[in-house]
Structures are given as C-alpha cells and as structure tokens.
Structure 1
Amino acid sequence: MTRSSRGILIALAIIAALAAAAMWLTRPQPLPVIAKAVDRGRVEASVSNTRAGEVEACQRTRLSTILGGRIEYLGVKEGDRVEAGQVLMRLWHQDIQARAEVAAAQLATARSRANEACAVAANAEREAERQEALAARGFVSPSRAEGARSEAEARRAGCSSARADIATAQRQLDAAGTDLGRIVIAAPFAGTVARITGELGEYSTPSPPGVPTPPAIELLDDSCLYVKAPMDEVDAPRIQPGQAARVSVDALPGRQFEATVRRVAPYVSAQERQARTVDIDVDFASQDEARGLLVGYSADVEIILATREDVLRVPTAALRPGNTVLVVGADGILEERSLQTGVANWEYTEVTGGLAAGERIVTSLEREGVRPGVRVTVEGADGG
C-alpha cells in the first residue's frame, strides 16, 4: 500500500469517527417523566356538589309578633341560650290587658247571675211539683198548679239564658287572651338566639303577606346540624337516601365528617346563570363530632356511590382519551396500552384488564413530548 493510500484510509477513519461522535452527541436524549407503579387498594365511585353547600340547623325559625307595637320587654340578647316556651319579647299591651280584665269581670258577673237564676229556677220547680200534688188531692185549683208550672218553666229558661251569658263572657275573655298572645314571642323550641331586630322601646312591625321584612328574633337549634348541598342534575338519579357521604368544611381544612344522605329534593332548581341542580340534605353520622360547627359554614359533600376493596388501580389523572395509559417498557420506551376499567373517582380508577401489578405508568402527561415510542427516564414517582 502506498503512502497516499494509507493517508486516504486514515482520513476516512477520522471522518467516520467524527461522524459517529456527532451522531452520539446529537442523539435524542431520554425524556424525563414521572411514573407510578400499578398497585392494589380501595377505589370509590363518588359524586360531589357543583357549588358550595351550607351547614344548616335542623330547627331554625324566624319569629315575629302577629300584631305591631312598641317593644316593652326584651328578655334576651343575641347568643343567649333559651328554653322551649320562654318569653323572648313582648309588646306594649295595656289596652289589651284592660279588655281582658273587663272580660274577666263580666264573666264573674255572668256566673253570679247564673247561680242566682238557677237557684230561683230550682225553687220554682219544687213549688210547681208541690202545687201539682195538692191539685191532685183537690186541695188547690188546677189553674194554680198550672200557674206554678209556668213560673217554673220561665225560671228554667232564665237559668239557661244566664248560663249562655257565661259562655259568651268566657269567649270574650278567650279572645282577649288570644290578642295578648299576638304581642308575645315565646321560644317554640330550645335553642340559641341568632339575631334580634329591634331595641327596647322601638316599634316592631310584623311582615305583611308577600312583603318580606326582617324577623324580630331568629332562633336556631345548633345542637342538631346537617348540610344542604346542590348536586348536578346529571348526578341526581344516582343519589339515594341512605348512601354514605363525606363532608368537608372550608373553615376546617383537612378534616372530614362521616355522613348519610337523608333527602333528595323531588325537583330541579334552575337559577339564572347557574347550572341546574338538585338539593340534597346530608345528616352528620355523629352530632357530637359536628358540635361547634357554625350554621352557615360553607361545606362540600362527596356521595359514595360504590366501593371496591383491594383492586388494581391507577391514578385517574394518568388516563388518556379512550381509556389508554402510557406504560414504561423495560427498555425505557413508552408503550400505549388500552385498559378495561371499573369504578372511578377523581383520584383513582379501577383496572379490570390491560395492566398487571407493578407495571409503571406515566403520570406526567402534561409534559411536552410525552407520547408512545419515546424513550424516557423515570425521574420520580407520583405517590408510590
């Protein structure tokens, strides 16, 4: 081999080495991804409210007097605990009280007159019987006996009339008592005074029909609480009373309360610029645990539709359109795999076919370039 031939071969070898080095340096780098091994565990199918629900008191009432008037007595303040039947507010009532006293006096007079009239009637009846006995023996004339009988019947009618006057006077007294009840607010149940509208000496106005006005006193029983929440109309057919639920309260992050669905509204609520929803009522499993929650707290409700224990599962966020996932192969190449799935929620989806325990699936689907056939390197794990 001549010197020139050796030079050409050396040059070609250098060029080949440089090309190989260039190809090595410019080769596609493995794409870093986050993957999670397929494991076993619990999967729950659930639905949640579309807008924030609210903690409600089992008993809550807005009280007003039936009649209007000046507040004469205000026996409570906001936050006070009261007992059932306790008088909370009373309006000025001297005029009604005076009418009640007049009615009571009239009733007493009517009873006295009735006693007198009925006593005279009883005596007239005895006299009539005596005269009739004497007339039968011929000692007095029949006309005298008839006169005594007529007198007895008249006295008996007077007794009946007097007794009717008693009933009339009693009804007048009852009517005055009813009027007194219209200016008094008494607690219908034991609870806490939430709000008072009005001060001592101010005029309290009842709500006319169809005209909403603030109640004089708002009373609630915070010893029994529940949650009212709006559910999307699409989810409503799957919700039934008795289903288990979980309640979370914005004011207590990280804490959940076990609950049970008590009621599903029989109609759809349609509010302007909002989704059509169905209200549900959810009872706390333990009122002792719920004690201390404030009425009006915003709350979220998760209804448990179905539960699967110890099943294969994948993060729901790892699912691609068509129920597919990207599996990290032994050679680091991503493989698209179709799955058969079961129950699911926002966190996990049950896998009934297409994957085996331990296989790693990509959870960082949002990263650019993640697709089937790409070589990857796993830089971390998402929860496992």
Structure 2
Amino acid sequence: MEEFKKSDFYFELPEELIAQDPLEDRSGSRLLMLNKDTGEMMHRIFRDIIDYLEPGDCLVLNDTKVIPARLLGTKADTGAATEVLLLKRRENDIWEALVKPGKKARPGSVISFGDGILTGEVLDVVDEGNRLIRFRYEGIFEEVLDRLGEMPLPPYITHKLQDKNRYQTVYAKYEGSAAAPTAGLHFTKELLGKIEEKGVKIAYVTLHVGLGTFRPVKADNILEHHMHSEYYQVTKEAADTINDTKRGGKRVICIGTTSCRTVESAADENGVLHEGCGNTEIFIYPGYRFKILDGLITNFHLPESTLVMLVSALAGKEHVLAAYEEAIREKYRFFSFGDAMFITDVTVHSVLSNV
C-alpha cells in the first residue's frame, strides 16, 4: 500500500475563506460536486442536491446534539477566571473536561459558575491533562447547562455566535457532542421533506463528536497518528434501512465524516451493517476499502487533518486536492460554517445536460 506523509495533504488556505458566521439560509450555501472516479467537478447551490439523489438512495444523518459545553467560571478560593470545556460524561455528574488554565486546576479545586448556581470539584487528572470534575447544582443538569453554557465553537471561529441553534442541525436529538456534525448544518426541514417525498430514504445514526476531531496530526507518517475515541450507536431500524438499500443496489450517502465513521465502524467485512453501540477510533485514509458508504456530503476541511485524509480515501488525494484548489479559486467558504462538497459517482457531464 502506498505510504503517505502528513505533508501530502497540505494546501494553502487564505484566512479570509474561513467562514466566521453561518449563512442566513442554511440550504443556500454553495455545493461543489466531485466525481470520485474521474475528478470532474461542477458548481451548484446546496438545495440543488435533490436533483442528484434517486428514489431508493439512502441518506445517513448523525442526530447527535451539541451541548453548550463551554463554561466560564471562577476559582472559589482565588476568584481567578477559569474556563471548562466538557468533553465526555463519565457517570451522572462526573465529566471529563479540559480546563484552562490547567496548572491551577489541581484535585480538590472548586470552580463556581453563574454565582454558584453550578459548582465543579476537580477530582483527578486523566489522559492528556484533562480533568475529572464532579458537578453540584439544583434541578436538571441539562437545564443549568443551557442557561450557563456557551457553544464550544472550533478554535478557528473567532466571532461570537448570535443564535445557539445555528451550530445545531435541524434534526439534532441526542445530547452529547462537543462539536457539530457540520455537513448536516446545510439541511432545512423543508429540504429534508422534499428529499423524502422523492423516495429517498433517511437513516439516523448517532456519533457524539469529540473535540479530538480538531486535533492536529503531529506524526509525519500518518500511520503513527492515534485517533480519538468517540461513542456511537446504530439502531436496528437504521441498520435495516441501510442494508436494504445496499441489497437493492442503491447508494448509501453519508452526511458528514461522523456518519461515515459510524457506519464503517459498525459494519462487518461482508458489508453488512449491525445494530449496536460502542466507542470507535476508526482512522480512514487512502487505501481504505469502504464497506457501506457510496457517496459523501461533507464540508471543506483543515489542511493535513484526518478529515481531509478520509475524503481522500474516497475520491483519491489528487482529485480532492484539485477540488480544494478549485474551491479556493472560486472563493468557497471553508470549515464548520462553510460550503459543502458532494463526492459521488454521478457523472458530471450527464448531470450537466439535464440542468
């Protein structure tokens, strides 16, 4: 198998192309169609996606919900400003969290949020300097969090989000993510309704996105990179819908890299998807043979990231980097609030002739 270095996935991105705010109209973003086999490209608007879906195809959506996981508080003893980012619930009121500044957050430290409405005691230091924190509050934790917490926007977004719901898909259901499955942000309820009316099936899976999704690849040899672990769940209903689609010879199109990683983690070597839940550390890079996925709708990702490597596994590194060059030339918006790409086997020429 061909060996890849991190630098093989590098591209120069002008800073002004990093989208800082969501568009007013979710489905009005731009869409770059890329044929995964030929590398041919075409420019569209996201809502046009319905023209490239066929009855019997299946869209796989990640219905995780982002929690307002960024808490700004003060240390109870010194009053020093402290930021806590919730990463993963360990048990009831004990969370693994990232604390800034971390050095002062020793076991036994107490942090107060919202004038004491919520307090957190640091219990222990775990992997990579994260902390285990036990929270105390009155009422329901999710309601307290909704009142005090902020959306944990990625580090490259510097603007303040005016509406929490804009960093949430319209079908978000199960709370647990520290970051949004951003390819899904382009869908409106109206667009999903039209897609279903056309006879396209929709299957919901869950993967709680961790902040590790933004962790840079440090090793030059990408095989030395260790993926973060994320919890996923596939219901019997979703597995049956996706397996029926495969059996019928229709396409399974994942909305975002998180949906892709979920179905590829839960599938066996024969390409059959199984219901179940667990933690996945799957790392998909060129040379990977997809067991379930036929097409992918995704945003434009960071240079040298595991997400660019995943996309390159589907369409080939040369095709992907050429598409990114085209997107930069055409001033597409990049990253979480940016534009989208549909990687599929649809032949661009035949599609163009129908438009």
Give 1 or 2 for the bigger CA radius of gyration. 1
TM-score using structure 1 length: 0.20
TM-score (norm 2): 0.21
- Normalized per residue, the structure richer in strand is 1
